[in-house]
């Protein structure tokens, strides 16, 4: 029998009632609000990877003043946890205890099972007679549920030194979301002053040097989870997360990174192992026994979300016609097989792909070689045109062609890529040689950075300056599949999914360097079911 969840039920799941944006009595305290005798939960609480019958819960305890992140000191302690159907914990539905200590940096992760689907829960952690702040989360609907709306916040690229995380606060305050999708660069590895706000350090990172060791990465994770806006959004909603490069080092690939020098910084494998271990400890994410992070989530008959890892298995970045080499890969063979099979077999209306780097091609100064014919070969132009950024799918044409060709061959439609990484806002139609210019295989929505520098910041010019506007215009004029791009704003996206359409709305901050900055709607685009062509939308009404 098919389960049916109407809009009102989905809004209740999101903590709203009858279409309002009022949290249903949730107590969402900030970082460090709950102190227990001899200890404190100083880094908030979080939940992630929602399933119909379960959720992953996270916190960290500081049992003694010296047991700071990365210190490696402090006692082993027993932490209790509770899950309830009400914010006052009158009806506790699941509870337990576990031990943590310096071996796992005093972090706590609990995979709770046996929960009801499509249900809002509240959770907390206890130690020595005191409780942490309260978090609110929600399970996914049954896999066969006919739901009519799903709404999520979409974010990427949060650089501590470049500003405040007001984008997270604006999402936490909405009250109408079901989850948050984070597409990578949750944190940055740089030392202080190495990557800031157009040359200005808004707030200094810890440690002050570039992070290299396990202790360094733990300290940096702890710093990020001291941010009150980040803590608020973690406490308000479940997150589904993947990593990009800066969780380890800039422009990472399977054998190294642009920002890693083995002669002075040690073996790449050691750095990756340290970064991944800290990530596993500090993030509300399930990882496979082999460390794999690519995975899927189902929201009834409406949507299935495939989260990609485009760093662990990729070949080194290349240039020129080497980007066409079929031996090079961005996904790795196993992940590509998993992705193609999952998209083709999915019975969900919308196949969403959490995609850390941009999928759509960006031609610069030339047409793609497949339009130029022999002239393109003579001039040595790559198949999809001269490459602006070889770190994204443009640098791995064979993988992109393989995926798009598979979508075409299997008749797989209603695929939408959700993308971060490039700090700017884009609405794209995905085209390759097999699709031609007018028959896109999928849609792509790219969200801006939360704080990381973008075009006007690198130019040290104000937002909306003529050079940024000229650049955006040139991109659109030479890339007709790019329906909109804005190169200066920082902020977030809100994706609304219904059986009829998939719509992204972009919101930009007034000032990323100001705590509590307001945000404003700047654009909206949608793609209709059965089509991959985008349509511009007017501002939404909440």
Q: What is the pLDDT of residues 195-204, one digit of tens each?
A: 999 999 999 9
Q: What is the pLDDT of residues 371-400, one digit of tens each?
A: 445 444 444 556 666 778 899 999 999 999
Question: How far is 45 from 235, CA to CA, in rounded Å?
Answer: 6
How would residue 26 be classed by pLDDT, with cut points 50, 70 and 90? very low
pLDDT at 34: 42
**Distances in Å between the alpha carbon of 293 and those of 274, 279, 282?**
16, 11, 14
pLDDT at 333: 98
Which letter does DSSP use for residue 197 in this model? B
DSSP 3-state of 130:
strand
What domains lie within the chain, and their CATH numbers? 1-15+31-148 (2.60.40.380), 152-537 (3.60.21.70)
- Phi, psi angles (nearest 5°) of residue 423: 70, 10
Q: What is the pLDDT of residues 184-198, one digit of tens each?
A: 999 999 999 999 999
Nearest residue to 105 via CA among 2, 191, 185, 221: 221
- Average the pLDDT over 95-111 and give the result: 98
pLDDT at 385: 65
**Considering the chain, what is the average pLDDT of its residues?**
90
Nearest residue to 137 via CA among 77, 186, 93, 184: 93
SS (H, E, C) 276-321: HHHHHHHCCCCCCCCCCCCEEEEECCCEEEEECCCCCCCCCCCCHH
pLDDT at 438: 87
pLDDT at 244: 98
- Average the pLDDT over 171-182 and give the result: 98
How would residue 64 be classed by pLDDT, with cut points 50, 70 and 90? very high
SS (H, E, C) 479-519: CCCEEEEECCCCEEEEEEECCCEEEEEEEEECCCCCCCCCE
How would residue 355 be classed by pLDDT, with cut points 50, 70 and 90? very high
DSSP 3-state of 392:
coil
Percent pLDDT > 90 in the chain is 82
Global pTM reads 0.92
Q: Is the pLDDT of residue 157 over 80?
A: yes
Pairing verdict, β 179-182 and 238-241: parallel
Least confident among 83-97, 206-220, 398-412, 451-465:
451-465
Q: Is the pLDDT of residue 22 over 60?
A: no
More confident residue, 73 or 32: 73
Q: What is the pLDDT of residues 126-136, one digit of tens each?
A: 999 999 999 99
Q: Is the pLDDT of residue 300 over 90?
A: yes
The total of other beta-carbon atoms located within 10 Å of residue 111's CB is 11
Q: What is the pLDDT of residues 312-353, one digit of tens each?
A: 999 999 988 899 999 999 999 999 999 999 999 999 999 999
């Amino acid at each position: 029998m098919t389960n049916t969840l109407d809009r009102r039920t989905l809004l209740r799941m999101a903590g709203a009632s009858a279409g309002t944006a009022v949290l249903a009595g949730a107590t969402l305290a900030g970082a460090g609000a709950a102190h227990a005798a001899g200890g404190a939960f100083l880094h908030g609480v979080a939940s992630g990877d929602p399933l119909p019958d379960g959720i992953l819960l996270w916190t960290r305890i500081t049992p003694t003043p010296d047991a700071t992140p990365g210190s490696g000191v402090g006692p082993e302690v027993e932490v209790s946890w509770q899950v309830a159907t009400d914010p006052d914990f009158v009806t506790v539905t699941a509870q337990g205890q576990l031990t943590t200590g310096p071996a796992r940096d005093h972090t706590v992760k609990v995979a709770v099972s046996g929960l009801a689907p499509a249900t809002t829960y509240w959770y907390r952690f206890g130690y020595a007679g005191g409780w942490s702040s309260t978090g609110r989360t929600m399970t996914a609907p049954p896999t066969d549920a006919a739901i009519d709306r799903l709404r999520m916040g979409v974010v990427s690229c949060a650089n501590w030194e470049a500003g405040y995380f007001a984008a997270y606060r604006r999402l936490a305050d909405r009250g109408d979301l079901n989850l948050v999708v984070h597409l990578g660069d949750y944190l940055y590895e740089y030392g202080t002053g190495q990557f800031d706000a157009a040359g200005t350090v808004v707030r200094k990172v810890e440690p002050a040097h570039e992070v290299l060791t396990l202790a360094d990465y733990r300290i940096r994770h702890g710093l990020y989870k001291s941010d009150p806006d980040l803590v608020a959004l973690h406490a308000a909603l479940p997150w589904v997360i993947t990593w990009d490069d800066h969780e380890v080092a800039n422009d990472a690939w399977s054998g190294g990174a642009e920002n890693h020098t083995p002669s002075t910084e040690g073996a790449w494998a050691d750095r990756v192992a340290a970064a991944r271990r800290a990530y596993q400890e500090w993030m509300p994410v399930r990882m496979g026994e082999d460390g794999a992070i690519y995975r899927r989530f189902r929201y009834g008959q409406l949507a299935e979300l495939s989260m990609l890892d485009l760093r662990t298995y990729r070949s080194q970045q290349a240039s020129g016609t080497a980007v066409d080499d079929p031996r090079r890969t961005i996904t790795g063979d196993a992940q590509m097989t998993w992705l193609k099979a999952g998209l083709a077999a999915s019975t969900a209306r919308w196949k969403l792909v959490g995609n850390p780097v941009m999928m759509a091609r960006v031609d610069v100064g030339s047409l793609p070689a497949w339009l130029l014919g022999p002239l393109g070969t003579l001039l040595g132009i790559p198949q999809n045109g001269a490459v602006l950024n070889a770190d994204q799918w443009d640098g791995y044409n064979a993988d992109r062609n393989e995926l798009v060709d598979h979508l075409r061959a299997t008749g797989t439609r209603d695929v939408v890529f959700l993308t971060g990484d490039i700090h700017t806002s884009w609405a794209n139609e995905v085209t390759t040689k097999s699709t031609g210019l007018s028959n896109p295989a999928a849609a792509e929505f790219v969200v801006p950075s939360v704080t990381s520098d973008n075009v006007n910041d690198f130019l040290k010019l104000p937002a909306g300056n003529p050079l940024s506007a000229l650049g955006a215009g040139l991109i659109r004029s030479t890339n007709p599949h790019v329906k909109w791009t804005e190169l200066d704003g920082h902020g977030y996206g809100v994706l609304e999914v219904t059986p009829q359409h998939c719509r992204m709305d972009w919101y930009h901050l007034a000032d990323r360097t100001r705590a509590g900055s307001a945000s404003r709607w700047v654009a909206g685009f949608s793609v209709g079911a059965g089509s991959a062509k985008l349509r511009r939308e007017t501002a939404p009404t909440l």
